Amino acid sequence: MPIYHYKCQDCQNEFDHLVGVTAESKELRCTKCGSLDVEKTFGSFSVRFTENKRQNVNDKSCSTGCCSTCR
């Protein structure tokens, strides 16, 4: 199930919304003020590595471990 990140345009509250696969479409309201003026934003995520993979990534020259040369 995807999790979407939203920002209220009225009170600037940021919140996440879990969307089920078979969920019905409904009006999404701000969790703080109840406004309907919310905008989907980009959220970040993390990736977990096994200990061996983490050590291999740290041996590379890339500071993030996410570029094509790290794979």
What residue has token string 């993390």?
46
Structural domain includes residue 2: yes
Range of the domain at 26: 1-44
Structural domain includes residue 34: yes
H or E segment to which residue 15 belongs? strand 14-18
> Per-residue DSSP letters for 35-56?
-S-EEEE---------HHHHHH
Each residue of 1-38: pLDDT tens digit? 688 899 999 999 999 998 877 767 778 999 999 999 99
Q: What three-state secondary structure class fits 26?
A: coil
Each residue of 31-71: pLDDT tens digit? 999 999 999 997 666 667 666 655 555 555 566 666 666 55
Strand partners, 14: 7
Cβ–Cβ under 8 Å, residues 35 and 44: no
Query: DSSP label at 25?
Result: P
Structural domain includes residue 69: no
CATH classification at residue 14? 2.20.28.10
Structural domain includes residue 38: yes
Number of structural domains (the chain) is 1
